[in-house]
Amino acid sequence: MSSFFSGRGATLMITALLLASLQAAVADTYTFGVVPQFDARQIRQVWKPILTRLEAETGQRFQLVGTSTIPEFETRFLSGEFDFAYMNPYQVLKGAESVGYVPLVRDVGRTLHGIIVVRKDSPITRVEDLNGKKVAFPAPNALGATLVPRSDFKHTFGINVLPRYVQSHSSVYLNVVMGETAAGGGVQKTLAQQPPAIRDSLRVLYRTRDIPPHPVAAHPRVPEKVRDAVRNGFLSIPATEEGSRLLSRIPIQRIGRAAIDDYHPMDAWGLDEFYIR
Backbone angles phi, psi at 82, to 5 degrees: -90, 140
Handedness of CA 47, 53, 55, 58 (dihedral sign): negative
Q: Which among 59, 73, 63 is positioned nearest to 30, based on CA atoms?
A: 63
22 located within any domain: no
Same domain as 66, residue 96: yes
Domain end: 163, 188, 207, which one? 207
What gap in Å lies between CA 68 and CA 73, rounded to an integer? Answer: 8
What gap in Å lies between CA 137 and CA 173, rounded to an integer? Answer: 9
Same domain as 203, residue 118: yes
Q: Which residue has the higher pLDDT, 45 or 16?
A: 45
Same domain as 180, residue 157: yes
pLDDT given at position 42 = 84
Backbone angles phi, psi at 30, to 5 degrees: -105, 135
Cα atoms in the Cβ-side hemisphere of radius 13 Å centred on 145: 29
125 located within any domain: yes
Question: Using one digit for the tens of pLDDT, what is the confidence trace for 139-158?
Answer: 888 899 999 999 999 999 99
Same domain as 222, residue 169: no
Question: Using one digit for the tens of pLDDT, what is the confidence trace for 88-108?
Answer: 999 999 999 999 999 999 999
Same domain as 97, residue 119: no
Same domain as 98, residue 137: no
Same domain as 103, residue 132: no
pLDDT at 276 over 90: no
First to last CA, the chain: 67
153 located within any domain: yes
pLDDT grade for 11, boundaries at 50, 70 and 90: low
Question: Which H or E element spans position 107?
Answer: strand 102-107
Same domain as 120, residue 102: no
Question: Using one digit for the tens of pLDDT, what is the confidence trace for 108-143?
Answer: 999 999 999 999 999 999 999 999 999 999 888 889
24 located within any domain: no
Tally of domains within the chain: 2
Domain hosting 136: range is: 114-207
Q: Which among 161, 157, 177 is positioned nearest to 169, based on CA atoms?
A: 177
Supply the mean pLDDT for the chain: 90
Question: Using one digit for the tens of pLDDT, what is the confidence trace for 56-77?
Answer: 999 999 999 988 877 888 899 9
Same domain as 121, residue 79: no
Same domain as 104, residue 227: yes
pLDDT grade for 20, boundaries at 50, 70 and 90: very low
Question: Using one digit for the tens of pLDDT, what is the confidence trace for 25-42?
Answer: 444 799 999 988 777 888
- Which CATH number covers residue 132? 3.40.190.10
Domain end: 160, 190, 207, which one? 207
| Alpha-carbon separation of residue 48 from 44, 65, 84, 226, 241 (angstroms) | 5, 11, 14, 19, 18
